[in-house]
Amino acid sequence: METVGYTRRDFLKKVGLGAASLAVPGCAGGAQRVSPKASTDKPNFIIIFTDDQGYQDVGCFGSPNINTPNLDRMAAEGMKFTDFYVAASICSPSRAALLTGCYPPRVSITKVLFPRDSIGLNPKEVTIADILKAQGYATACVGKWHLGHLPQFLPMQQGFDSYYGIPYSNDMRIKRGDKSGPPLMRNEDIIEHPAEQATLTQRYTEESIKFITENKNRPFFLYLPHTMPHVPLFVSEKFKGKSKRGLYGDVIEEIDWSVGRILKTLKELGIDEKTLVLFTSDNGPWLGKKHHGGSALPLRDGKFTTYEGGMREPTIMRWPGEIPEGKVCGEVCGTIDLLPTFARLAGAEPPADRVIDGKDIWPLISGRPRAKSPHKAFFYYRGNKLEAVRSGRWKLHRKKKTALYDLEIDISEKNNLAAGHPKIVKRLTGVMEKFDRELKANARPPGRAAEKNQS
């Protein structure tokens, strides 16, 4: 399916925005897209996306020593998803998948992007923000972007009205004068260098609340990808030394505070029952003694791997009156499903000219009786290599040797059952090979800059 010639202008025309609606002069970067009149009956969406947080690092997912009362309350008032996956176990590919609804190799973002890179998420891709903006939504990205730091790849070229945050991971840096470190940006401008990281979580929270408050009378989409708990870890003085889990626990407890502030704001503004809030992480924890010690237990391994600890994430969704309270969903679903699901809820459709890997999971989210995963198979990519597939209870892993796990009884992937189930191994091997061939035959190119950034 050829998509190289498909532009954002084409997409906006399809959803009812003419060329005259695309830009007004005098805004940041030379132009800013404007939306049609907003409909007041559309739900708001908030995605809170942490960085390198482990499956166990939330109280309601089993943490023995991290206090997360706001997330626990969110789960009690909404739904926990125990088999919810990101599409990569590293930062940039995971974020590309969330925003586009596609496995990372399909959009050619398969590695972590660095300040030296001249590629990014192709602006020809259609993101969640693009779809919602065309439906009259206000859209904002607050936090870590990490899908290309050059101007043509930043959030305002990917469907967001505004951006506030750092453009890549907090251990990456640029040198400006005698200072070095990650910059803090507003839209396309560096406003602080290096960013004062100890206050980032608090400032992201205040920026988010400001956006929510300013747009309380229209539908909005807030994408809040936190910088933390990626290393190096930073926390404000208010939370320093408070957690039994040490600095890592302090960081998570400050993020929990942030969640509480946002939920409180929604209630105070009277828009709580109009807003779907989702909390999850971009991938599993960065393990090892020299790192921060997040926990993916009882899952195996963590970041960088295609074992469950790298890609199955602690996930909570809340929408009073629409998502049933105190429920648990154990069906396979993930971040690639958010684009088609949010599109449906906003009265839109995913782009029809290209493959979208995600599925509409509203039946699962809304707690429909006997609702099942729409995925006959879920695929685990590491870079451009397909290493594993899950189909129902079975997971076939083919990194160094063929391994078959029954995840219903072996969530920790300890017992290789491949020798006893050759037919299942053969079937899932065929499923993997067929899907990988088709995906790579239809992969779309990344965005490429003419010159590398010389910051």
pLDDT in tens, 80-96: 999 999 999 999 999 99
- Angle of helix 246-268 relative to helix 200-214, nearest 10 degrees, comes to 10
Helix (H/G/I), strand (E/B), else coil: 104 = helix
pLDDT (tens digit, 9 = 90+) per residue, 265-280? 999 999 999 999 999 9
- Whether residue 229 has pLDDT greater than 70: yes
- The answer to whether 397 and 405 are in contact (CB under 8 A) is yes
Which amino acid, one-letter code, is at 442?
A: N
CATH number for 379-439 (one of 3.30.1120.10, 3.40.640.10, 3.40.190.10, 1.10.1740.10): it is 3.30.1120.10
Residue corresponding to tokens 């439906």: 135
Q: What is the pLDDT confidence band of residue 289, given thresholds at 50, 70 and 90?
A: low
Q: Report the run of H or E that residue 263 belongs to, with start and end.
A: helix 246-268
- Whether residue 193 has pLDDT greater than 80: yes
> How far apart are the C-alpha atoms of 264 and 259, rounded to whole Å?
9
pLDDT for residue 40:
61
- Angle of helix 246-268 relative to helix 69-76, nearest 10 degrees, comes to 50
Give the other-Cβ count within 10 Å of 111's Cβ. 16
pLDDT for residue 100:
98
Residue corresponding to tokens 């009277």: 270
Q: Report the run of H or E that residue 200 belongs to, with start and end.
A: helix 200-214
Average pLDDT over residues 322-332: 97
- Whether residue 239 has pLDDT greater than 60: yes
Helix (H/G/I), strand (E/B), else coil: 32 = strand
pLDDT for residue 12:
52
- Whether residue 148 has pLDDT greater than 90: yes
pLDDT for residue 176:
83
Catalytic residues: 91, 146
List the structure tokens of 357: 């890997």
The H-assigned helical ranges of 56-90 are: 69-76
Reference 213, options 222, 203, 225; nearest CA is 222
Give the other-Cβ count within 10 Å of 419's Cβ. 9
pLDDT for residue 291:
56
Q: Where are the domains of the chain?
A: 37-376, 379-439
The rounded percent of the chain whose pLDDT value lies above 90 is: 86
18 CB-near residues (< 8 Å, 6+ apart): none
- The answer to whether 358 and 109 are in contact (CB under 8 A) is no
Q: Environment class of residue 189 by beta-carbon count within 10 Å: exposed (0-12), middle (13-18) or buried (19+)? A: exposed
Helix (H/G/I), strand (E/B), else coil: 333 = strand
Reference 297, options 83, 57, 85; nearest CA is 57
- The answer to whether 108 and 162 are in contact (CB under 8 A) is no
pLDDT for residue 18:
37
> How far apart are the C-alpha atoms of 78 and 158, rounded to whole Å?
30
> How far apart are the C-alpha atoms of 331 and 62, rounded to whole Å?
19
> How far apart are the C-alpha atoms of 48 and 157, rounded to whole Å?
21
Provide the terminal-to-terminal Cα distance of the chain, rounded to the nearest Å: 37
Q: Which class does domain 37-376 fall in?
A: alpha beta
pLDDT for residue 328:
98
